[in-house]
């Protein structure tokens, strides 16, 4: 019951870990990704990614600017130009 989440910026690999759920601010609206999500790709607008380590836990927020989110069978990868955290 865990989703592999990666957040990558040009400068470095910011995050690479197993989490419960991630809420990504897509250009067409926020979307949450759980394990087993269908393959999906979206552009990301400037905003905060919410990271839920376990179900019901308080989310950790990471500010990102400009990028893409890609969901594959392997997990969720967010490519951002800038990220805090």
Partner 1 sequence: MASLKELKGRINSVKSTQKITKAKQMVAAAKLRKAQAAAEAARPYASRLAEVMGSLAAKVAGQDNAPLLMRGTGSTQRHLLVVVNTDKGLCGGLNSNIVKEAKAQARALAAEGKDVTFYLVGKKGRAPIRRDYPKAIAENFDTSTVRTPGFDEASKIAHQLLDMFEAGKFDVAHLVAPKFKSALSQDPVTTQLIPVPAPTTQADTGAVVEYEPGEEEILEELLPRYVTTQIFGALLEREASEQGASMTAMDNATRNAGELINKLTIQYNRSRQAAITTELIEIIAGAEAL
Q: Is 41 in the site for partner 1 (CB under 8 A)?
A: yes
Choice between 52 and 75, CB closer to partner 1: 75
1/11 with CB nearer partner 1 = 11
For the bound state, the minimum distance from the C-beta of residue 56 to partner 1, rounded and expressed in Å, comes to 27
CA distance linking residue 77 with residue 72, whole number of Å = 8
Where does the chain show beta strands of DSSP type E?
Answer: 3-8, 13-19, 21-26, 29-33, 40-44, 47-52, 60-72, 75-83
Binding site for partner 1 (CB under 8 A): 8-13, 26-28, 38-43, 66, 68, 70, 72-73, 77, 79, 81
């Amino acid at each position: 019951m865990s989703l592999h989440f990666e957040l990558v910026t040009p400068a470095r690999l910011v995050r690479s870990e197993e989490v419960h759920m991630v809420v990504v601010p897509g250009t067409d609206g926020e979307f949450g990704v759980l394990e087993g999500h269908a393959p999906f790709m979206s552009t990301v607008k400037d905003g905060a990614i919410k990271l839920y380590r376990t179900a019901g836990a308080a989310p950790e927020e990471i500010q990102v600017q400009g990028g893409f989110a890609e969901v594959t069978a392997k997990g969720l990868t967010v490519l951002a130009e800038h990220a805090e955290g």
